[in-house]
Amino acid sequence: MSDRPILDVSALTKRFAKRALLDSVDISLHRGECVLLTGGNGAGKTTLLRILSGLERPDSCGISIAADTPRSWRRCRHDLHNRILYLHQHPYMFDGSVRYNLGYALPSGLNKPLKRRLIDAAIEWAELGHLHDTPAKSLSGGERQRVSLARARLRNPQILLLDEPTANLDQEARQRTLDLLNSFKEQGIALLLASHDPLHFSSLIDRHIHLYEGRLIAIEEEKLMSMPSPNNETALRSTA
């Protein structure tokens, strides 16, 4: 894991009406690092992921990409789109086969032989060979997740943001997903995983941060997975 962050965000604030959903949040991600993001329902996890991927505007923040000079979100938005990929909890499948869906991840002007080789490699990587001609919309939840991750591999992002990537998956599908996520990590891609089930990712994560009342809390003990309370407050520290 690199010592210099590939993404460094400071004083990120997002308000809804009078409530500060995200209150001067600081967050950094490093190459090859996996960070687990937890928080209660409505804490702002999905909003944070959408802002970091350039899909939703914050009220204010400073962003440094690859140790560059900090800039506003608006000035960084194009770079965020190019470097960061956000995967929704429920991956969208287009009409057509698995192979056809994977083709959407590649530039339209790519020559056909190269496009075919890249798609074949992604199919093999995600173990989708027996499903390559199957209508994507007929797939199970775990199979859809693997198609989504194969598309992400074809996009080759520097940072991958995932919202509940193992939700509602059985044990086998969950393990396959974790294996693919570990493959991304080994390639040097930074991962930020939002989840209500932190124990599922214990073998994968390097850091655990918790979103509570608009602030990010760094979890210092591996087994401390609950929300902050008076009894465990001393084991938490703010990352701000």
Residue 165 belongs to a domain with what CATH number? 3.40.50.300
Q: Looking at the domain assignment, is residue 76 inside a domain?
A: yes
Domain that holds residue 161: 5-86+157-238
Quick one: angle between helices 112-125 and 141-155, nearest 10? 130
Q: Looking at the domain assignment, is residue 205 inside a domain?
A: yes
Token digits of residue 10 = 């400071």
Measure the N-to-C terminal CA separation of the chain; round to a whole number of Å.
22
Whether residue 236 is predicted with pLDDT greater than 50 in this model: the reply is no
Q: Which of 33-37, 88-92, 137-141 has the lowest mean pLDDT?
A: 88-92
**Could you say which DSSP state residue 71 is in?**
B
Q: Looking at the domain assignment, is residue 187 inside a domain?
A: yes
Whether residue 232 is predicted with pLDDT greater than 50 in this model: the reply is no
What average pLDDT score do residues 30-50 get? 95
Contact 169, 141 (CB under 8 A): yes
The region, left, alpha or beta by phi > 0 then psi within -120 to 50, assigned to residue 223 is: alpha
What is residue 221's predicted lDDT score, i.e. its pLDDT? 54
Q: Looking at the domain assignment, is residue 185 inside a domain?
A: yes
Structure-token match 């802002």, residue found: 51
Q: Looking at the domain assignment, is residue 102 inside a domain?
A: no
What average pLDDT score do residues 58-75 get? 89
Q: Looking at the domain assignment, is residue 12 inside a domain?
A: yes
What average pLDDT score do residues 122-141 get? 97
Q: Looking at the domain assignment, is residue 104 inside a domain?
A: no
**Range 48-80 burial, b when 16+ CB lie within 10 A, else e:** bbbbbbbeeebeebbbbbeeeeeeebeebbebb
Domain count, the chain: 1
Q: Looking at the domain assignment, is residue 92 inside a domain?
A: no
Distance from C-alpha of 196 to C-alpha of 206, rounded to nearest angstrom = 17
What is residue 17's predicted lDDT score, i.e. its pLDDT? 85
